[in-house]
């Protein structure tokens, strides 16, 4: 796998030889974009931070991999942490930061001791005075959001903040801060060193109703039928959910999986977390599980998300219990849109995506539970 | 560099939870208002301000685990321990939680037990794990034989 190739500090050596500006040009040429879900051009983010007229800057490696169905960063931390650390050193040096943090999610605490040893070893071999500290996450999905992660590091509740200002302009303690995903920083180190580094290869975390779940490195544009073949479904597949936040779409075996085709199905690729759902499940039950997740994880700061996630869950429960009409499905849809349009941060802004997309693609599953359908079935049974 | 969430976690590592005494101690040592410490501690799932069982079990309740019999595994823990998610056993040996995705989706259904990942769980495995944890505890408290 490309992502597991080790750069062994040769990338750091090359970066120092060619200089910061050439590093940025190289990353632009290689087309590296963020791998945490937002796909922001990496070099652009580094340039913004670098160009701020201040002395102090920071780098944060976002290892708070909390999106359900995502486990690719865990693979990198377990098998190629040294290259990730090298990427952090290069990012820090390029933008002029002396201090970096790795925000490691609390659920990966069992990886921390080995990671800290590896950080120490790489820093010693790199002969740099850049410091890298591990911040111990404590079980808050919202801390995967860039402003929330900064609040957490600064010793506050991990609640999202208004943007602007954006972190590369004003982040930790008011200073320019680059927040990059584990995979992005690992790729940065590899893209600088390896001529044949391919930006088109992405890590797909595949799980759900399959016999061979796992992290697979696949090219964008691969046909969905290929992904299904690799994952080996247990039964005939019905739907594909992109984590919890990216929406649910039907299986279309002939579809090449690209950012565009996923978007055409009203979904978002995110970090390519693919949860495969088979025909033995009603999509409403999946939406219920996702809606519960959002009620737990809402940081509580803004009303649309804090109250809206609970209301969406309650409406879904009404659907599931057969107490909803077809008109209630319209209310649910409208409500999900409203929460997304008015919430403060990415969590709330995507909390209704599963409902909106499920109603578009799997309306029949919802109608199965409505009062009208139940009345129809009752009449049918009487005859 | 002193990072508050790290300080709270280190303090919790020693005593299992953040008691009032521990919080007051941290407040004095680092000159942080007590209200701020509680404000932070009550935000995070993993920071506890009430006593916990000796063994903390966190069963994943996210879609990939649910799609792989996760609900059955959760019920198995509840039956073995005779408590529901969110409760502690009377002997204070176990606290059970249902949590969001723990990142073991490719080895679902999964749980974290005392911070360690237990994967591909079944009802049988759950029984075995609880039995082992119980016997580990009883061998610690067994009185020494007199010579």
Q: What ranges do the domains of chain A cover?
A: 2-193, 201-278, 283-374
Residue B4's pLDDT is: 97
Residue A188's pLDDT is: 98
Q: How confident is the model at residue A251 (pLDDT cuts 50, 70, 90)?
A: very high
Residue A119 structure tokens: 């950080």
**A138 lies within 8 A of chain B by CB:** yes
Residue A175 has pLDDT above 60, yes or no: yes
Q: Which CATH number fits domain A201-278: 3.60.20.10, 3.10.20.600, 3.30.160.70, 3.40.50.2020?
A: 3.10.20.600
Instruction: Give the residue-averaged pLDDT of B48-66.
Output: 96
| Calpha distance B11→B13 (Å, rounded) | 5
Q: How confident is the model at residue A375 (pLDDT cuts 50, 70, 90)?
A: confident
pTM value is 0.95
A contacts of B5 (beta carbons < 8 Å):
135-138, 152-153, 155
Residue B62 has pLDDT above 70, yes or no: yes
DSSP helix/strand/coil, A321:
coil
Instruction: Give the residue-averaged pLDDT of A343-348.
Output: 94
DSSP helix/strand/coil, A261:
helix
Classify residue A295 as exposed, middle or buried by CB count within 10 Å of its CB (0-12, 13-18, 19+): middle
DSSP helix/strand/coil, A33:
strand
Q: Which CATH number fits domain A283-374: 1.20.1440.230, 3.60.21.10, 3.90.76.10, 3.10.580.10?
A: 1.20.1440.230
pLDDT exceeding 70 applies to what percent of chain A?
Answer: 99
Q: How confident is the model at residue A378 (pLDDT cuts 50, 70, 90)?
A: confident
Beta bridge partners of residue B59, listed in sequence order: B98, B111
**Is the CB of A140 less than 8 angstroms away from the CB of B45?**
yes
Q: Which segment of A100-104, A105-109, A206-210, A325-329 scores lowest on mean pLDDT? A: A325-329
pLDDT, tens digit, 9 for 90 and up, residues A140-172: 999 999 999 999 999 999 999 999 999 999 999
> Would strands A58-63 and A99-104 be described as parallel, antiparallel, or unpaired?
parallel
Q: How confident is the model at residue A377 (pLDDT cuts 50, 70, 90)?
A: confident
* A246 half-sphere exposure, CB direction, 13 A CA radius: 26
Residue B145's pLDDT is: 53
Residues of A (255-294) whose Cβ lies below 8 Å from B: 275, 277, 281, 286, 289-290, 292-293
pLDDT, tens digit, 9 for 90 and up, residues A185-212: 999 999 999 999 999 999 999 999 999 9
Residue A41 has pLDDT above 80, yes or no: yes
CB atoms within 10 A of CB B32: 17
ipTM: 0.93
Residue A240 has pLDDT above 70, yes or no: yes
**B107 lies within 8 A of chain A by CB:** yes
Of residues A68 and A380, the one with the higher pLDDT is A68
Residue B146 has pLDDT above 70, yes or no: no
Residue B143's pLDDT is: 57
Residue A380's pLDDT is: 76
- Domain A2-193 falls in which CATH fold? Rossmann fold (3.40.50)
Q: What is the mean pLDDT of chain A?
A: 95
DSSP helix/strand/coil, A46:
helix
Q: What is the largest CA-CA distance in chain B?
A: 56
| Calpha distance B59→B50 (Å, rounded) | 20
**A315 lies within 8 A of chain B by CB:** no
| Calpha distance B49→A40 (Å, rounded) | 39
| Calpha distance A230→A219 (Å, rounded) | 13
């Amino acid at each position: 796998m490309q992502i597991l190739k080790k750069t062994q500090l040769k990338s750091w050596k090359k970066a120092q030889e060619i200089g910061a500006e050439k590093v940025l040009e190289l990353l632009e040429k290689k087309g590296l974009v963020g791998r945490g879900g937002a796909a922001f051009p990496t070099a652009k983010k580094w340039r913004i931070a670098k160009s701020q007229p201040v002395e102090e800057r920071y780098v944060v490696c976002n290892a708070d991999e909390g999106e359900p169905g995502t486990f690719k960063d865990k693979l990198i931390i377990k098998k190629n942490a040294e290259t990730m650390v090298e990427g952090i050193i290069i990012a820090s040096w390029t933008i002029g930061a002396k201090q970096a943090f790795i925000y490691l999610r609390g659920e990966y605490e069992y990886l921390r001791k080995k990671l800290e040893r590896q950080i120490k070893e790489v820093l010693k071999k790199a002969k740099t005075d850049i410091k890298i500290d591990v911040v111990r996450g404590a079980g808050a999905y919202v801390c995967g959001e860039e402003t929330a992660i900064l609040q957490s590091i600064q010793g506050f509740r991990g609640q999202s903040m208004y943007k602007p200002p954006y972190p590369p302009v004003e982040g930790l303690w008011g200073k320019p801060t680059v927040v990059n995903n584990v995979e992005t920083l690992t790729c940065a180190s590899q893209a600088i060193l390896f001529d044949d580094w391919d930006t088109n290869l992405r890590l797909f975390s595949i799980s759900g109703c399959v016999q061979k779940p796992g992290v697979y490195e696949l090219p964008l544009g691969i046909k969905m039928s290929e992904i299904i073949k690799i994952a080996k479904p247990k039964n005939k597949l019905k739907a594909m959910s992109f984590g919890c936040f990216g929406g649910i779409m039907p299986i279309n075996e002939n579809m090449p999986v690209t950012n565009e085709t996923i978007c055409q199905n009203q979904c978002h690729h995110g970090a390519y977390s693919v949860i495969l759902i088979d025909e033995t499940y009603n999509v409403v039950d999946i939406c219920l599980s996702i809606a519960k997740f959002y009620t737990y994880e809402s940081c509580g700061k803004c009303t649309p998300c804090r109250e809206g996630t609970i209301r969406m869950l309650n409406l879904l429960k009404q659907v599931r219990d057969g107490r909803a009409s077809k008109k209630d499905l319209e209310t649910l849809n409208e409500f999900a849109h409203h929460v997304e349009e008015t919430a403060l941060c990415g969590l709330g802004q995507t909390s209704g995506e599963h409902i909106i997309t499920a109603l578009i693609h799997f309306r029949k599953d919802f109608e199965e539970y409505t009062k009208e359908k139940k009345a129809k079935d009752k009449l049918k049974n009487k005859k | 560099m002193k990072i508050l969430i790290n300080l709270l976690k280190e303090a919790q590592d020693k005593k299992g939870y953040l008691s009032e005494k521990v919080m007051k101690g941290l407040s004095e040592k680092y000159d942080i208002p007590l209200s701020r410490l509680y404000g932070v501690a009550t935000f995070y799932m993993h920071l506890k301000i009430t006593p916990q069982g000796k063994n903390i079990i966190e069963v994943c309740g996210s879609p990939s685990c649910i799609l792989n019999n996760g609900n059955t595994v959760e019920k198995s823990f509840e039956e073995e321990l005779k408590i529901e998610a969110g409760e502690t056993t009377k002997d204070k040996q176990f606290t059970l939680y249902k949590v969001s995705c723990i990142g073991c989706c490719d080895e679902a259904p999964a749980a974290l037990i005392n911070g360690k990942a237990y994967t591909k769980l079944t009802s049988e495995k759950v029984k075995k794990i609880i039995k082992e944890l119980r016997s580990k505890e009883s061998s610690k408290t067994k009185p020494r034989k007199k010579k």
